[in-house]
Amino acid sequence: MDHLSPVDLDSEAKPLAADGHGQLQRLDQLERLVHERSAELTWVNQRLVAALYERSAAEAQADELRKRDRATGLPNRHALEERLDSAVRMHLERGEPAALVCIGIGRLAEVRDTLGLAAADVVARQVGDRLKVAVRGTDTVARVSDNEFALLLTNLRRGHDAATVARKLFDALEAPLLLGEHELRLAPAVGVAVLPEDATTGDLLLARAAAAMQYAREHGTGLYQFFRPEIAQRSARRLRLEAELTTALERNQLRVLFQPRVRVRDRRVIGAEALLRWEHPERGLLGPDAFLDVAEETGLIVPIGAHVLSLACRHASAWPGDLSVAVNLAPREFRGTSVMALVARALNAGGLAAHRLQIEVNESALPRQSEAAALDVLAQLAEAGVRVVLDNFGAAAASLAALRRVSIDGVKLDGEFLRDAAITQRDGAIVTALASLGKRLGLRVIAAGIESEEQLAFARKAGVTEAQGYLLGRPIEPDAFVAAVTPTPRRRARRR
């Protein structure tokens, strides 16, 4: 048997020791790596959890913002509808009454169009603040559209207890509101619908409260208006009328008649006013009183106004001599549309000279808070050569500002003053004063609604220069007007 020497033993032991030391180092490195990776995973996990919490919070915040009105911070229509559905189900199950109050602020659109979005937001916030103060903390106050707010009333003993709340809301909003240097009256309209008498679903309750509010706005019913079945019938008629009016535009059922305008001193025809009519397929020829309020409310007045202006310019271009055509622009046409572009298109398409077009603007088209925007439009029309006439002159205070700041060509006196001017001393004095003011400013003074020789004689004596009315000519078809104002050969021979 071979024996290993001590030297041999030592040489064998060194490699073994070296291998064991290396393994320990590798294990130590592996442990450090595992520790580092564990720490990294822990950090990543913590960041992931934090990110998930942040995302959840952001989504919750975004969802809350989606249910809030940006300007007022109040719940918006979406949030109200959610609460309304839940409240309706609960109250129907319990047999308890509830009510929805819808509030329209008529002046908000006016503020937005004349003073800007920021000013409208300030007014909306103040309206929201007043509403919150006027109701209990358990009631929901929401802003459901730009010009409308709503309140969900749940703690009622009976449905018509909502009348007390509606009265408080109306009083709170009726007080003037200060907006910079302007004192603004909000012109609120309040409508109320009651659960379960008026509706048994949230959608219908909101719709019927809104219908009652619209009725209050149009009829000036006073403090507030509760929903009634006849209001629903009326709303259905209005919806049908809106649809029919849209169809009328598409099918060219809207047309114009022309009422002669004469020079007072010799009754010579100097032009005509274009008057809108609707050839309804079932109801016959309708005047503007039958549909113009719906057109204004829905915004259809803008395309209708463009249609009338285009027709008027096209027909007038065929009139002899320098006869002019007068077209009335509605207040809504000064909002969100370019009047100058509209007029330019109509003149170019019809081939009519600008000085032969007379644009008549009712004083209600001039905003009470700031008439600057509307007056700027009138100034641009005047600079382009279009004649500008202020209609219903004397019926509101805006006319004096218009006379002072814009090159108006003429004024048309309010027909109410002229109706009894010849027999009523007060009305006669008003007509004389207004006509005198117009003459001193070098304006044409136009009288509308002349129906008798006495009225015409008084208008002439007062200084009126032009007139129109049934005495001087009824509205007639375009062809009939052309025939009436076109000289015949015999007439020409007499003139020679």
Predicted local confidence at residue 419, as pLDDT: 74
In a domain, 23, yes or no: no
Q: Please tell me whether residues 326 and 378 are part of one structural domain.
A: yes
Same domain, 356 and 408: yes
Upstream peptide bond of 478 is cis (omega within 30 degrees of 0) = no
Would residue 72 count as lying in a domain?
no
Domain boundary among 203, 227, 251: 227
* pLDDT for position 439: 86
Burial of 438 (0-12, 13-18, 19+ CB in 10 A): buried
Q: Which parts of 193-337 fold into alpha helices (H)?
A: 202-219, 229-250, 292-298, 301-316
Alpha helices in 67-116 (DSSP H): 77-94, 108-115
* Mean pLDDT per 10-residue segment, the chain (496 residues): 49 53 73 78 76 62 68 90 89 90 86 80 90 84 91 84 87 84 83 91 92 85 82 82 92 95 95 96 92 85 92 96 92 71 94 95 59 73 91 65 71 78 74 86 90 90 93 95 82 48
Q: Quote the pTM value.
A: 0.66
Please report the pLDDT score of residue 328 as a whole number. Answer: 92
Query: In this structure, is residue 453 part of a structural domain?
Result: yes
Specify the pLDDT at position 49: 76
Whether residues 285 and 390 share a domain: the answer is: yes
Q: Is the same domain home to 163 and 304?
A: no
Instruction: Using the 3D structure, point to which of 227, 253, 275 is the last residue of a domain.
Output: 227
CATH of the domain at 366: 3.20.20.450
Domain residues for the domain of 403 are 239-495
Number of domains in the chain: 2
Residue 12 within any structural domain of the chain: no
Q: Is residue 44 part of a domain?
A: no
> Residue 313 has which token pair?
């310019």
Same domain assignment for residues 303 and 446: yes
Residues 216 and 302 in one domain: no
Find tokens 């507030």 and name the residue. Answer: 224
Phi/psi region, residue 105 (left: phi>0; alpha: psi -120 to 50; beta: rest), is beta
DSSP structural state of residue 487: P
Q: What pLDDT score was predicted for residue 158? A: 80
Does residue 151 lie in a domain region? Answer: yes
Same domain, 114 and 188: yes
Quick one: tokens of 350?
A: 């019809």
490 and 342 part of one domain? yes
